[in-house]
Amino acid sequence: MSQEISNTILSLPDLDVTSKDLLLIAGPCAVESREQLFKTAEIVAEAGFRFLRGGAFKPRTNPYSFQGLQEHGLELLGEVRNKFNLKTVTEIIDYTHIDLYKDTVDVLQVGARNMSNFQLLKKLAEVDKPILLKRGYAATIEEFLLAAEYLISGGNQRVILCERGIRTFETYTRSTLDLASVPIVKKLSKLPIIVDPSHSCGRSDIVIPISLASLVAGADGIIVEIHPNPPKALCDGLQSLDFQRFMELVSEINHLKPYLRGE
């Protein structure tokens, strides 16, 4: 294991996340419309989650797929953030966009496809916002932590890691969730690590048990995709929970909470 990992990962980032407070994030894969985002934000706030996710600039594998509402998506995130008092989380794919995110986004997400985009990481190291860094789907745990080092050594210690599964030969899930990375990362660093059950599973029917398993394994939270009408979603509908299933998940998490993290 490299020296850098043990030496430079410091105290818990100043993120308004206490050790007893799970980092719970939910929202649509992509911001699609004002109506979709407002409906979703309302349920996220009602659930007691403090963070709303929603992609505006989407890094799609297929160039013909919906690429996101882009600048307009960021504006809509700004509107719901004020109305529902939620913190917003959205992906940034290009460092020339940093200024666009200034007033409407609280947490900048670096997606799996960009975990090794070191130029992007170097620029984000200079930004005064927390970074949610997702594990690349072909990255080892060490490579994942070294990507975090780019942010930390460049001056931004407010890094939240996110395990979102890696690519294996298995086909029943979209990616294989490497849950062991959660306690391993906890041994190697003091950074918070959350799990993305949606992108790892790729199917909504197993998102609830995998979310709970993640929290039991020691994850500091989850980021989960939800949608008012998953079959009509423009992106990742198959893995998105509808509101009823989301509220079931919330109730399960609330039951589990007293047993987690020494509460």
Q: For binding to ligand PEP (CB under 6 A), which residues are involved?
A: 29, 55, 111-113, 134, 164, 196, 199
Q: Which does 76 bind (CB under 5 to 8 A by kind): Mn ion, ligand PEP, none?
A: none
Residue nearest to Mn ion (CB): 29
Residue nearest to ligand PEP (CB): 111
In one-letter notation, the amino acid at residue 249 is: L
Q: Which is nearer to ligand PEP, 199 or 227 (CB)?
A: 199
| Residues that contact Mn ion, how many (by CB under 5 A) | 2
- What are the residue ranges of helices labelled H in 115-168? 118-124, 141-153
Residue 187: count other Cβ atoms within 10 Å of its Cβ.
6
Q: Are strands 23-27 and 221-225 parallel, antiparallel or unpaired?
A: parallel
- Cβ proximity to ligand PEP, 118 vs 259, nearer residue: 118
Closest approach, Cβ 174 to ligand PEP, in A, equals 9
Work out what residue 50 binds among Mn ion, ligand PEP, none; the CB cut-off runs from 5 to 8 Å by kind.
none
Between 149 and 196, name the residue whose CB sits nearer to Mn ion: 196
Please say which residue, 158 or 199, places its beta carbon nearer to Mn ion: 199
Question: Does position 236 bind Mn ion by CB under 5 A?
Answer: yes
Question: 192 is in the binding site of which of Mn ion, ligand PEP, none (Cβ under 5 to 8 A by kind)?
Answer: none
Q: How far, in Å, CA of 249 to CA of 241, rounded?
A: 9
Question: Any contact of residue 163 with Mn ion (CB under 5 A)?
Answer: no
User: Does 29 sit near Mn ion (CB under 5 A)?
Assistant: yes
Backbone torsions φ then ψ of 197, nearest 5 degrees: -70, -25
What span, in angstroms and rounded, lies between the C-alpha atoms of 258 and 255?
7
Give the length of the chain. Answer: 263
Rounded to whole angstroms, the Cα distance separating 60 from 236 reads 11
Region of 4-12, 23-31, 68-76, 109-117 interacting with Mn ion (CB under 5 A): 23-31
Which amino acid makes up residue 260? L
Q: What is the dihedral of CA 231, 235, 239, 244, to 10 degrees?
A: -50
Nearest residue (CB) to ligand PEP, 113 versus 129:
113
**Residue 182 and residue 163 in contact, taking contact as beta carbons nearer than 8 Å:** yes
Confirm or reject binding of residue 74 to Mn ion (CB under 5 A).
no
Task: Please report how close the Cβ of residue 55 comes to Mn ion at its closest, in angstroms.
Answer: 7
**Shortest reach from residue 47's CB to ligand PEP, in Å:** 19
Count of C-beta atoms within a 10 Å radius of residue 168: 11
Query: How many Cβ atoms are within 10 Å of 19's Cβ, its own excluded?
Result: 10
H-run or E-run covering 91 = strand 87-91
Which has the closest alpha carbon to 76: 98, 46, 102, 56?
56
Report the residue number, 12 or 237, with the smaller CB distance to ligand PEP: 237
Nearer to ligand PEP, 162 or 208 (CB): 162
Contact set with Mn ion (CB under 5 A): 29, 236
